[in-house]
Amino acid sequence: MFKGKGYTGRILRINLSTGKISKEPLPDFVVRNYIGGNGFSVYYLYKELEPGIDPLGSKNKIVIGTGPLTGTLWPSSGRFSIGAKSPLTGFWGEANSGGFFGPELKYAGYDAIIIEGRAKKPVYIEIFNGEVAIKDAKHLWGRNTKEVTLELQKEDKETQVLCIGQGGENLVAYASIMSNLHRAFGRSGQGAVWGSKNLKAIAVRGTGRVDVANFDKFIELSKEAHRKVQEDEAARQMFTYGTNLLVSAKQAIGEFVTRNHSTGVFEGAEKLAAEVLKEKFNGRPRACFGCSNACKEVYTTSHANPWAPDMVTEGPEYEGTMAFGSNCGIDDYDMILYVSDLCNKYGIDQISLGIAISFLMECYEKGLITKKDCDGLELRWGNKEAVVALTHKTAKREGIGDLLAEGVKRASEKLGRGTERYAMHVKGQEVSGQDGRTHRSVALTHAVGARGADHLRSLVTVDQLGYKAAARKRYKDLFKGKSKKEQEVILNELCNPYLENYKAYAVKVTEDIFAIRDALVVCWYTCGWPPIFWIEDFARIMPLATGEEALGDVQELLKIGERQVNVKRAFNIREGLTREDDTLPKRFTEEPMPEGPGKGQVANLKVMLDEYYRLRGWDLETGMIKRKTLKRLNLPEIEKELDKLKKMID
């Protein structure tokens, strides 16, 4: 059992089939090789899930993981991770979000929760420090995430709640899990896994403490880190305007995802600018636990608002603005706020739903489907009523919503008629609000993401937002032994969003480092955007938190990060993944960007993919992990298993 600091040393295991609740010691081995947070999912899901199981069956498991920094003063450490095999992709599934549940769980005395089996009828789990109970959720089933949260807080308002809405209950393949009403574990359909297990919610109240190993130095460094965030100009901008700042930044490089990813400039972008949003709805910042960045914005609608009068909501984030705005040809924040809030209540991922709707719209506009296919809806670009109607239908799986609830991959396969071409997904997960043609590194990020087309596990921002100083520090190996002139060229090419050069390297390094970020767990803001903290900062704080000197070594941390990326890869290989799955919708590789600053750009995925595989030590042809890579990362069990399955290359 791990005896160091930063952890509670306890993992809670709950079997919903048998009702058995047990508390396991946190193994040293897990701390030293996986750290925590998403690392718990990586370790336990690989080890305990049989390959080929039904993600919505009783054999799937849920892992909720906090990290050694959770509940401490280190900035933006309120985030935590939830993992389970994904019903959307059939591959690796995991989501990460902020709020206050994670720290509360740790104060209650647990680093992680593992949930197994399936309850016969709807239940929720109640945790009060050492007391844990599985309770009847009859009164909660069928209700939205806001109602459930408030209901479970009735007796003790300090209780933190994680729950699903109707989306998860109805097994919408991209259902989310919500906390604090507006913090979403959005991607990879984690909410549907909960629904399939009849698990409606977890309520936790913890009154304990979190201790660290070297208190004085930990505090000193944490305060300095908060100061850095508070003095950073870009972070202050985010504090003031939230993530919708990206609308203008992306429009400027031709990457503002519009009409189902068909273009990267939107004629209504000005109306969707962050400044407009803030002004119109009186935006004010709100933060997750322990965060000085406070990227969340609270908006209040007026009494005269046509969609949702007198509503107080948080969000949309940039991704929501993209999903229901530009992506559907809509430039009206009144409506976007309403749908974003609706998704949070239903518990549905905004990105996937938006892309599912735009998929249908594009098919309709192209004449591949008709009104009759769509319950009589006129699915023209910009039809706001249709977007709202499809949101309700999908959450309830009514009519065409039943098809949309499966995600665009399965929906297009079912529809046929050439609609597959407009299904914007990778591995079955809908493509988030970036465009690999005009932000080249993200083409690779989308293609290789273990959970499908996802930006958050390896998003390189230096080419997108032009962070040259950060680029030089973060990807410093590129510049070693080069002349000043050569260095200049490398830097310019690395930061050029329209070139493939050096992007494979940047994605690989970023992915390894972000695996550490998700293990600690800290927010991706302040690491990726704005670029404040990086691996050196993690290495400095980790021994102070845990007392584990080895975790203070950058090389060791990078190895742990790389290990996690490879275990996820092995998980997917076990499920049948090959190089073919590391791909992009043809739109990004074959249809040149039609207009705007990036006009004519396409992504050359092949060169980046080859280079990325080489750097990873994966086989170029099959995408399998090479034996020597597994050896180097010290993963003997995986080596043995993949060997047996004949899914390894020597």
d(CA 108, CA 255): 44
Q: Does 440 engage in binding with ligand SF4 (CB under 6 A)?
A: no
Name residue 84's amino acid. Answer: A
Residue 150: name its binding partner from another protein, ligand SF4, none (Cβ under 5 to 8 Å by kind).
Answer: another protein
10 Å CB burial of residue 286 (0-12, 13-18, 19+) is: middle
Of the pair 295, 387, the CB lying nearest ligand SF4 is at 295
Of the pair 99, 617, the CB lying nearest ligand SF4 is at 99
What SS3 class is residue 625? strand
Of the pair 336, 609, the CB lying nearest another protein is at 336
**DSSP string for residues in 120-151:** SS-EEEEEETTEEEEEE-TTTTT--HHHHHHH
What SS3 class is residue 638? helix
Residue 523: name its binding partner from another protein, ligand SF4, none (Cβ under 5 to 8 Å by kind).
Answer: ligand SF4
> How crowded is residue 554: how many other Cβ atoms within 10 Å of its Cβ?
15
Of the pair 40, 218, the CB lying nearest another protein is at 218
Q: Where along the sequence are the contacts to another protein (CB under 8 A)?
A: 71-73, 100, 107, 146, 149-150, 157, 180-182, 207-212, 215, 219, 223, 226, 229-230, 239, 284-294, 298, 302-304, 312-314
Of the pair 289, 505, the CB lying nearest ligand SF4 is at 289
Of the pair 295, 602, the CB lying nearest ligand SF4 is at 295
Q: Which two tokens stand for residue 88?
A: 């959307």
Contact partners, residue 607, CB within 8 Å, separation at least 6? 500
Residue 525: name its binding partner from ligand SF4, another protein, none (Cβ under 5 to 8 Å by kind).
Answer: ligand SF4
Cβ 587 vs Cβ 262: under 8 Å = yes
d(CA 573, CA 484): 42
> How crowded is residue 584: how many other Cβ atoms within 10 Å of its Cβ?
22
d(CA 85, CA 595): 39
Q: Which two tokens stand for residue 468?
A: 């040259």
**Smallest separation (angstroms) from ligand SF4 to the CB of 237:** 12
Least Cα distance to 7 among 560, 542, 549, 563 occurs for 542
Of the pair 391, 526, the CB lying nearest ligand SF4 is at 526
> How crowded is residue 365: how many other Cβ atoms within 10 Å of its Cβ?
17
Residue 295: name its binding partner from another protein, ligand SF4, none (Cβ under 5 to 8 Å by kind).
Answer: ligand SF4
In the shown chain, the binding pattern of residues 477 to 516 toward ligand SF4, with x for contact by CB under 6 A and - for none, equals: ----------------------------------------
**Smallest separation (angstroms) from another protein to the CB of 290:** 6
Q: Does 288 engage in binding with ligand SF4 (CB under 6 A)?
A: yes
Q: Does 461 engage in binding with ligand SF4 (CB under 6 A)?
A: no
10 Å CB burial of residue 605 (0-12, 13-18, 19+) is: buried
In the shown chain, the binding pattern of residues 88 to 127 toward ligand SF4, with x for contact by CB under 6 A and - for none, equals: ----------x-----------------------------
Cβ 406 vs Cβ 396: under 8 Å = no
Of the pair 377, 523, the CB lying nearest another protein is at 523
Q: Does 225 engage in binding with ligand SF4 (CB under 6 A)?
A: no
Which residue is it, tokens 């903290």? 533
**Smallest separation (angstroms) from another protein to the CB of 262:** 35
Contact residue for ligand SF4 among 523, 532, 560, 635 (CB under 6 A): 523
- Cα of first residue to Cα of last residue in the chain, in angstroms, is 36
Of the pair 231, 413, the CB lying nearest another protein is at 231
Name residue 249's amino acid. Answer: A
**Smallest separation (angstroms) from ligand SF4 to the CB of 474:** 19
Residue 230: name its binding partner from ligand SF4, another protein, none (Cβ under 5 to 8 Å by kind).
Answer: another protein
**DSSP string for residues in 84-98:** ---TTTSS--EEEE-
Which residue is it, tokens 């769980």? 105
**Smallest separation (angstroms) from another protein to the CB of 182:** 8
Residue 232: name its binding partner from another protein, ligand SF4, none (Cβ under 5 to 8 Å by kind).
Answer: none
Q: Does 532 engage in binding with ligand SF4 (CB under 6 A)?
A: no
**Smallest separation (angstroms) from ligand SF4 to the CB of 78:** 6
Contact partners, residue 306, CB within 8 Å, separation at least 6? 334
Q: Which range touches ligand SF4 (CB under 6 A), out of 200-208, 283-291, 356-364, 560-568?
A: 283-291
Q: Which two tokens stand for residue 114?
A: 């593992």
Q: Does 447 engage in binding with ligand SF4 (CB under 6 A)?
A: no
**Smallest separation (angstroms) from another protein to the CB of 348:** 19
Least Cα distance to 359 among 417, 412, 428, 427 occurs for 412
Of the pair 79, 569, the CB lying nearest another protein is at 79
Contact residue for ligand SF4 among 200, 250, 278, 296 (CB under 6 A): 296
Q: Does 525 engage in binding with ligand SF4 (CB under 6 A)?
A: yes
**Smallest separation (angstroms) from ligand SF4 to the CB of 296:** 5
Q: Which range touches ligand SF4 (CB under 6 A), out of 71-79, 335-343, 595-603, 642-650?
A: 71-79
Of the pair 74, 571, the CB lying nearest ligand SF4 is at 74
Contact partners, residue 52, CB within 8 Å, separation at least 6? 575
d(CA 269, CA 246): 11
Of the pair 79, 474, the CB lying nearest ligand SF4 is at 79
Q: Does 293 engage in binding with ligand SF4 (CB under 6 A)?
A: yes
Of the pair 80, 100, the CB lying nearest another protein is at 100
Number of residues this chain uses to bind ligand SF4 (CB under 6 A)? 13
Measured CA to CA in angstroms, residue 644 lies from 304, 641, 647 at distances of 65, 5, 8
Q: Does 517 engage in binding with ligand SF4 (CB under 6 A)?
A: no
**CA 485 to mean position of chain CA atoms:** 38
**Smallest separation (angstroms) from ligand SF4 to the CB of 318:** 12
What SS3 class is residue 116? strand
What are residue 23's phi and psi, to 5 degrees?
A: -120, 120
Helix (H) or strand (E) holding 365: helix 350-365
10 Å CB burial of residue 378 (0-12, 13-18, 19+) is: exposed
Q: Does 295 engage in binding with ligand SF4 (CB under 6 A)?
A: yes
Residue 192: name its binding partner from another protein, ligand SF4, none (Cβ under 5 to 8 Å by kind).
Answer: none
Of the pair 144, 292, the CB lying nearest ligand SF4 is at 292
Q: Which two tokens stand for residue 127?
A: 């945790």
d(CA 589, CA 436): 8
Of the pair 202, 253, the CB lying nearest another protein is at 202
Q: Residues in the site for ligand SF4, rule: CB under 6 A?
A: 76, 78-79, 98, 287-288, 291, 293-296, 523, 525
